[in-house]
Amino acid sequence: MTATDLGLPTMGGLDLVPTTDEPQKAKEYKSDQEVRWCPGCGDYVVLNTIQSFLPTLGLKRENIVFISGIGCSSRFPYYMNTYGMHSIHGRAPSIATGLATTRPDLSVWVVTGDGDALSIGGNHLIHALRRNVNLKILLFNNRIYGLTKGQYSPTSEPGKVTKSTPMGSLDTPFNPVSLALGAEATFVGRALDSDKKGLTEVLTAAAQHRGSAVVEIYQNCPIFNDGAFDVLKDSDEAAQRIIPLTPGEPIRFGPEGELGVTSTGYGGFEVGKVADIGEDNLVVHDPSIEDTAYGFALSRIGDQNLSLTPTGIFRQVARPTYDDQARAQVEQAQQANPGDLQALLTGKDTWTVE
Amino acid sequence: MSTSANGSATDGAGALSATRPTEVNQLDRVVIRFAGDSGDGMQLTGDRFTSEAAAFGNDLATLPNFPAEIRAPQGTIPGVSSFQVHFADYDILTPGDRPDVLVAMNPAALKANIADVPKGGTIIVNTDEFGKRNLAKVDYESNPLEDDSLSAFEVHEVAMSTLTQGALENTGLGKKDAERCKNMFALGLLSWMYHRPTEGTEQFLREKFAKKPEIADANILAFRAGWYYGETTEAFGTTFEVAPAKLPAGTYRQITGNTALAYGIVAAGQQAKLPVLLGTYPITPASDVLHELSKHKNFGITTFQAEDEIAGVGAALGASYGGALGVTSTSGPGIALKAETIGLGVMTELPLVVIDVQRGGPSTGLPTKTEQADLLQAYFGRNSESPVPIVAPATPADCFDIALEATRIALKYRTPVLLLSDGAVANGSEPWLIPDVSTLPDLSVEFASEPNAPDGSGEHWPYVRDPETLAREWAIPGTPGLQHRIGGLEKADGKGNISYDPDNHDHMVRLRQAKIDGIDVPDIEVDDPPPSGLGGTASGGKARVLVLGWGSTYGPIGAAARRVRKKGMAVAQAHLRHLNPLPANLGEVLASYDRVVVPEMNLGQLAMLLRAKYLTDVQSYTKVAGLPFKAEELEGVFTDIIREVTSE
């Protein structure tokens, strides 16, 4: 059986989007608006990375759309010289679903944040993922509410003292990667704002994925949550904490590669010394494993306390997209019985008055 | 005429015919109410009787009345479901104030509906259900069929369940399944009483149960058994005829409001030459719009059942952003949820058709009952100054035209439009003069194709406007050279960048308001004929009282106005289909009458708006009972007011 027989997508994420032969430069993707994020905001680096990355796709710039919600992250579209909509808090995935379903010729990107996507937007996020709508969802996670000036967010650590939690936050945070996998996401990745190379790799794979792709981007908010990810950027600490996931490679890390990931007895993964685990018992990374339990187990390593943070692509599997199937149904209906408006209005039971 | 093997009397074409001589009464109109348990099939029965009336050429209007629950406990009053059909030999406007005939399938149905039956009315009961237990369930201390409580009515006792089971004895169907066909027995009996054509019903049953021919046969047998019961027993000495109505010449079909609304959206997409995306969520009484549109993908319509009301309208807005016709459908509670997204549509100036099939509120309210209390929500239910055009259908068939009109406004002016239907119009049906599609309006739009910056820079400014309509150009993603960003933040006029400038904001708020105020709405027409009946009036023909309505009160107001005029009194009637903006001549019209009466199924929302805008001391007449106004009720109200005004 071929992938087609199984109903699996045989197209890449961008196959219906028109391309251009003319080489593009990053600066063509910059809009004329002065960027208004705070100095030192992680969003600058991400913006730059994306503006450099998009030309590599060779798409017609007018066929790229960025849809955002509300938050500092969501100011993103204004700085991109593409089509864009700055919409309302939490609702970008819904708006993007309507656009992606009716416009297969567009590359649709959703820019959102830990508040926008995981608080008010939680419901729309999980349903977009469940449906596998062909959207690239960039989730800027700075573990705080920046735009509204410093309240805690669904990814803030427990006990965090903020403007709205002077005695410390009582909430247990979400793990966005685990949540996305629980919502059946077919592509989930994570990168750091400062890791241009790693982020570009994940973005490239996400763009080429046909279906929903969630990329969690750890992003620093210098004003309201400065240094939240410093441990992952410190040259000594980073090596002990960041676990890069490379498909086909055993998962090992550490300054001398002395640490690795192995199975627990109960279906999870844990980190230990390779010398103790044994090289043969290291998990070999395979994001194409169908069972979400695999990616989920990876996402639970170290949870969100940053002691251990896997980065890269957790899951990357093929599944028919909602929008492709919706269009196929419409096409099928049109082929079988092209719409005849007069016949529809007249119906089957008429009577005539002379 | 031949007699077939099982002794049935059919004419050559296979239709049933009445042959026993009875006293035949010619009536100009009849109102029949079928009432029973929710599981008794009253809606189907009423629907079929209505189709028979339509096939015969009567004018008709219907009022289905059912509870919100899927199946309340059997035999209880909350479980009673009824269907009222009014059919006539002239054009009628309402489903009828009161039934001439009540068909009560059980004691609960009798108790719930008896108060509406006028003295001398006919009641047909299914005696099999009038046992001790069922009577006790609804607190009947004695059997109303045995005591004197129904002495004012003509009561026909028919053991419908027994007779149906008897008729189906040899079919091999179980007793319970056989008993379930008793609604078709009732239909057969009533069809005989009113000389209705039966081929349509038998055809319908064959098609409905095509995959289960034994069920089709059983239902048809039960239907015929009901017919023969009337024909054979002498319990019914009188039958009735209601001649076909002289409606304007043309070809008609029967249609409900929700179906007409869905067809209007299909037509709108065709006339605009745009794909349609309906983003929606199931909610009573609007779900049928989704069900109907989901059957018409072959017209390029995508129906998206979203995870909630907000996602539904969000997807519709996203589709509009991409150049499709975005539509969403809901009822009052859903409009509350969609408010923020509609506001985004106002600020981004994108077309969006928002359908509200109003129902009883507030909160969850009365999901299956009609009301028209969302007008102020439609006007003001968004933060800040967020004007949205509003239209409302007057009748079930008008839902088709109003859908086209809502789309016309949305596309021409790039704005969300609120379409306020209501439960009565949505579920009610009437004959519809089928339009010739070649006469439907052309709604095609032109997307922007060239950069439009007035400074010659070659940029595209998303908020440059047409000087006449004040609508901005519709530049859709995928158009080269026109890349731009839109959003919910306030923007500079013309260029469209985020702007917090104080003067700009004041200007933009007024501009958005002016765009809506300037929408080309036809003048309102007033029906103010010289009264018929007993001579003219003191004012020499022109009425001094104007009745102004909106939405589904059109029928009851019209029926009441007819009665008033028949008595020789003059009354003027006008009806609003555009609620925002209001017609330009409305102020002048209001001022030309001594009194303006506004009947509404709310606490006076249109009245409040008219007072505010025109400083006219309108007289509000309100009822919020989950039911349409009765013609008789309004007749009384209008008569009193006319007398009061003309005696001054």
Any CB–CB contact under 8 A between B311 and chain A? yes
Query: Residue B23 pLDDT more than 90?
Result: no
Look-up of token digits 């992003």: A219
Tell me which CATH code domain A26-247+286-336 carries: 3.40.50.970
Least confident of A125-129, B198-202, B588-592: B198-202
Q: Which two tokens stand for residue B145?
A: 């069929």
Decide: helix, strand or coil at residue A258: coil
The mean per-residue pLDDT over the stretch B406-413 comes to 98
Rounded to 5 degrees, what are φ and ψ at A128? -65, -40
Give the separation between CA B443 and CA A276, rounded to whole angstroms. 73
Query: Residue B234 pLDDT more than 90?
Result: no
Q: Indicate yes or no: CB of A103 within 8 angstroms of CB of B488.
A: no
What is the amino acid identity at position B607? A
Q: Which residue of B has its CA nearest to A74?
A: B487
Q: Which residue of B has its CA nearest to A123?
A: B307
Question: In the prediction, which pLDDT does A3 show?
Answer: 54
In B257-391 the beta strands, taken as DSSP E runs, fall at 276-280, 301-305, 325-330, 352-358, 390-391
Q: Which residue of B has its CA nearest to A65?
A: B477
Q: Which two tokens stand for residue B633?
A: 């009720």
Any CB–CB contact under 8 A between B302 and chain A? yes
Question: In the prediction, which pLDDT does B607 show?
Answer: 98
Binding-face residues of A in 249-268 toward B, CB within 8 A: none
**Torsion B403-B408-B411-B415 (CA) sign:** negative
Q: Residue B415's pLDDT band (boundaries 50, 70, 90)?
A: very high
Query: Residue B175 pLDDT more than 50?
Result: yes
Cβ contacts from A onto B, under 8 A: 202
> Given B311, B340, B400, which is nearest A127 (Cβ)?
B311
Q: Indicate yes or no: CB of A84 within 8 angstroms of CB of B437.
A: no
Per DSSP, the residues of B80-132 read EEEEEEEEESS---SS-SS-SEEEESSHHHHHHHGGGSPTT-EEEEEGGG-SH
Question: In the prediction, which pLDDT does B7 show?
Answer: 36
The mean per-residue pLDDT over the stretch B215-240 comes to 92
Of A32, A131, A351, A354, which to mutate for an interface test with B (greatest number of B Cβ within 10 Å)?
A351
Q: Which residue of B has its CA nearest to A82?
A: B483
Gap from B7 CA to chain A (nearest CA, Å): 30
Q: Indicate yes or no: CB of A352 within 8 angstroms of CB of B251.
A: yes
The interface predicted TM-score (ipTM) is 0.96
Q: How far is CA B565 from CA B54, B528, B616, in A?
A: 28, 10, 25
Any CB–CB contact under 8 A between A339 and chain B? yes
The mean per-residue pLDDT over the stretch B118-137 comes to 96
Question: In the prediction, which pLDDT does B536 show?
Answer: 45
pTM for the complete prediction? 0.93
Q: Return mean pLDDT, chain B.
A: 93
> Given B249, B266, B341, which is nearest A341 (Cβ)?
B266
Q: Indicate yes or no: CB of B250 within 8 angstroms of CB of A88.
A: no
The mean per-residue pLDDT over the stretch B201-217 comes to 94
Any CB–CB contact under 8 A between B295 and chain A? no
Which positions in chain B touch A91 (Cβ < 8 Å)? 310-311, 314, 340-341
Q: How far is CA B108 from CA A43, A229, B6, in A?
A: 67, 69, 36
pLDDT over 70 percentage in chain B: 96
Any CB–CB contact under 8 A between A97 and chain B? yes
Q: A234: closest CA among A309, A300, A299, A173?
A: A309
Would you give the DSSP letter of residue B529?
P
> Given B307, B321, B482, which is nearest A99 (Cβ)?
B321
Which positions in chain B touch A338 (Cβ < 8 Å)? 298
Decide: helix, strand or coil at residue B535: coil
Question: In the prediction, which pLDDT does A303 show?
Answer: 65
Gap from A105 CA to chain B (nearest CA, Å): 8
Q: How far is CA B207 from CA A144, B164, B176, B204, B335, in A?
A: 61, 21, 23, 5, 38
Question: In the prediction, which pLDDT does B393 show?
Answer: 98
> Given A85, A124, A336, which is nearest B487 (Cβ)?
A85
Q: Which two tokens stand for residue B48?
A: 């079929």
Binding-face residues of A in 16-45 toward B, CB within 8 A: 31, 33
The mean per-residue pLDDT over the stretch B511-522 comes to 98
Give the separation between CA B559 and CA B86, rounded to whole angstroms. 13
Give the separation between CA A74 and CA A117, rounded to whole angstroms. 11
Q: Which residue of B has its CA nearest to A336?
A: B298
| pLDDT tens profile A222-240 | 999 999 999 899 888 899 9
pLDDT over 90 percentage in chain A: 91
Least confident of A61-65, B10-14, B100-104: B10-14
How confident is chain A (354 residues) per 10-residue block, as mean pLDDT?
59 94 96 93 96 97 98 96 98 98 98 98 98 98 95 96 96 96 98 95 97 97 94 89 97 96 94 96 97 96 83 97 97 97 95 89
| pLDDT tens profile B426-438 | 999 999 999 999 9
Look-up of token digits 């410190």: A234
The mean per-residue pLDDT over the stretch B114-143 comes to 96
Q: Indicate yes or no: CB of A336 within 8 angstroms of CB of B304.
A: no
3-class SS letters over B323-356: CCEEEEEECHHHHHHHHHHHHHHHHHCCCEEEEE
Of A22, A78, A83, A125, which to mutate for an interface test with B (greatest number of B Cβ within 10 Å)?
A83
Q: B87: closest CA among B124, B36, B33, B35?
A: B33
Gap from B525 CA to chain A (nearest CA, Å): 27
Q: Which residue of A has its CA nearest to B342?
A: A88
Question: In the prediction, which pLDDT does A265 show?
Answer: 87
Question: In the prediction, which pLDDT does B22 show?
Answer: 82
Binding-face residues of A in 307-326 toward B, CB within 8 A: 326
A177 CB-contact burial (10 Å; exposed 0-12 / middle 13-18 / buried 19+): buried
Q: Residue B143's pLDDT band (boundaries 50, 70, 90)?
A: very high
Q: Which two tokens stand for residue B344?
A: 């985004």
* Domain extent listing, chain A: 26-247+286-336
The mean per-residue pLDDT over the stretch B2-16 comes to 44
